[in-house]
């Protein structure tokens, strides 16, 4: 019953999001460059049904250290964005457990950002609950610089030498980084560029991210995240997005600024807020212009020169609150593509006004933090699952 429900809902959702069954495609030019485009060829999405006979939901949620078998409940493991030419762009895996199920959704990040993913997820829930059409029509028109529509994907040309360099590189996630609690680290803020571009439609479907970095100590950063996790966003501000047909870009930029807790948490939060506020439209468009002249793809190893902590997710993505018709989720976990030393994923729980923070760090770092009385004084131990 569960598998049939999920598979049927996915099929109906893809009727509305038909481009997700396509592939990435490339065309080489005479000047030794290549243009990449989205080929909506009505291909396929991957659906996997798996069963783990001896594992319960508690075995996934309660262990102090994540069990190795958890990786098996995720599809498209190890697949890079650039492999979207041969691999599906979207995959759903339903893994039956003793007392429940683990539903995994994997998306190629090159075709959408978090806002677009959550929109697709919410739209799927609308379909599950009987809606025959989407409450917000999709917007696919692409604009680039000065509101000029991209009519030809040949507009962006990437040098073949650069593409070969990326293709030949091994997985470059900084998984071998050892972070000491007192080590100064770079903290990357994935800033939503959507509300900073005039006229960007709320229904725009694609990527629109700006990456900014600040610096602070790992221990201070984690204490800060714990202290501010009870803060609720100003929903009216977050949803105040101007209207336009569309805009499409994966944006990267860096501003290194020192942030400490010497002047209190309020000051640290204000300093981070100023970094986010600095991502104004003029700055973004200037970056787009430079990127167009010399396009480069962002890799995890390029986010910061040394040690890095990256955060993702948003309180606006109410994953826990969605009515799936199958009951509310009891926990959310990230796959290996979102796991490397220094990664923090944030999920909102609106029912109790709390925020889950999933942090990926070396075992040695967590053991050191457990011995830090100041840090442990800010941590609340989550209760076990109810029987």
Residue pLDDT, tens place only, 142-158: 555 555 555 455 567 88
**CA proximity to 360, closest of 298, 308, 305:** 308
Residue at 110 is within a domain: yes
Nearest to 74 by CA among 339, 316, 318, 317: 339
- DSSP category for residue 216: E
Q: Do 36 and 25 meet the contact criterion of CB atoms below 8 Å apart?
A: yes
pLDDT for residue 95 is more than 80: yes
Label the pairing between strands 208-217 and 249-250. Answer: parallel
* Alpha-carbon torsion angle 244, 247, 252, 257, nearest 10: 0
Please give the DSSP secondary-structure letter assigned to residue 20: G
Least confident range from 115-119, 230-234, 269-273: namely: 230-234
The answer to the question of residue 385 being in a domain is no
> How confident is the model over 277-318, as pLDDT tens digits?
777 777 777 777 777 777 777 665 555 444 556 777 776 777
Q: What pLDDT is attached to residue 73?
A: 92
Contacts of 352 (CB under 8 A, 6+ apart): none
pLDDT of 240 higher than 60:
no
| Domain membership flag for residue 383 | no
Q: What is the sign, positive or negative, of the torsion defined by CA atoms of 235, 277, 302, 257?
A: negative
Query: Is residue 384, in this structure, part of any structural domain at all?
Result: no
pLDDT at 259: 55
With residues binned 3-state (H G I as helix, E B as strand, rest as coil), the percentages for the chain, rounded to 5, are 30, 20, 45
Two tokens at 386?
Answer: 């109810």
Q: Which of 87-96, 107-116, 352-361, 377-386 has the lowest mean pLDDT?
A: 377-386
- 382 part of a folded domain: no
- Decide if 68 is inside a domain: yes
Render pLDDT for 193-206 as a digit per residue (tens, 0 to 9). Answer: 455 555 555 554 45
DSSP one-letter string for 151-218? --GGGS-EEHHHHHHHHHS-----TT----TTSEEEEEEEEE-GGGSTT--TTB-S-EEEEEEEEEEH
Number of domains in the chain: 1
Indicate which CATH number applies to the domain containing 92: 3.30.559.10
95 or 231: which leads in pLDDT = 95
Q: Given this model, what pLDDT does residue 350 score?
A: 65
Domain for residue 61, yes or no? yes
Best CA proximity match to 43, nearest among 108, 134, 115? 108
For the chain, the average pLDDT equals 69
With cut-offs at 50, 70 and 90, classify the pLDDT of residue 258: low
The whole-number pLDDT of residue 233 equals 37
Measured distance CA(53)–CA(73) in Å, rounded = 13
Whether 96 shows a pLDDT value over 90: the answer reads yes
Q: Which domain holds residue 191?
A: 2-376
In the predicted structure, residue 50 carries a pLDDT above the cut 90: yes
In order, the DSSP letters of 230-242 are TPPP-HHHHT---
The first and second tokens of residue 167, run together, are 């293709």
Rounded average pLDDT over 108-129? 80
- pLDDT > 90: percent of the chain: 7
Does residue 282 sit within a domain? yes
């Amino acid at each position: 019953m569960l598998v049939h429900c999920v598979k049927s809902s996915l099929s109906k959702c893809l009727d509305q999001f038909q481009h997700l069954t396509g592939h990435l495609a490339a065309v080489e030019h005479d000047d030794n460059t290549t243009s990449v485009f989205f080929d909506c060829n009505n291909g396929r999405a991957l659906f996997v049904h798996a069963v783990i006979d001896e594992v319960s939901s508690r075995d996934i949620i309660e262990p102090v250290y994540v069990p190795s078998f958890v990786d098996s409940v995720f599809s498209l493991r190890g697949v890079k964005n650039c492999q979207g030419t041969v691999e599906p762009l979207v995959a759903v895996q339903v893994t039956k457990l003793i007392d429940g199920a683990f539903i995994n959704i994997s998306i190629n990040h090159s075709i959408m950002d978090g806002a677009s993913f959550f929109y697709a997820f919410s739209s799927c829930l609308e379909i599950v609950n009987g809606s025959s059409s989407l409450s917000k029509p999709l917007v696919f028109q692409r604009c680039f610089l000065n509101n000029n529509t991209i009519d030809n994907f040949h507009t962006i040309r990437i040098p073949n030498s650069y593409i070969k360099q990326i293709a030949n590189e091994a997985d470059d996630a900084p998984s071998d980084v050892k972070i000491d609690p007192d080590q100064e680290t770079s903290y990357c803020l994935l800033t939503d560029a959507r509300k900073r571009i005039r006229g960007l439609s709320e229904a725009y479907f694609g990527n629109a991210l700006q990456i900014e970095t600040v610096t602070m100590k790992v221990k201070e950063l984690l204490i800060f995240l714990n202290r501010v996790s009870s803060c609720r966003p100003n929903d009216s501000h977050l949803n105040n997005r101007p209207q336009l047909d569309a805009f499409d870009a994966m944006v990267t930029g860096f501003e290194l600024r020192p942030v400490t807790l010497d002047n209190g948490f309020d000051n640290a939060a204000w300093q981070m807020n100023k970094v986010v506020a600095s991502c104004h439209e003029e700055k973004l468009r200037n970056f787009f212009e430079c990127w167009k002249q010399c396009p480069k793809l962002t890799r995890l190893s390029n986010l910061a020169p040394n040690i890095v902590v990256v955060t993702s997710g948003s309180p606006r993505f109410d994953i826990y609150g969605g009515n799936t018709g199958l009951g509310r989720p009891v926990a959310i976990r990230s796959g290996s593509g979102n796991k490397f030393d220094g990664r923090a994923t944030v999920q909102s729980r609106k029912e109790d006004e709390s925020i889950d923070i999933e942090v990926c760090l070396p075992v040695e770092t967590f053991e050191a933090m457990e011995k830090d009385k100041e840090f442990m004084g800010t941590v609340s131990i989550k209760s076990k699952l109810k029987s």
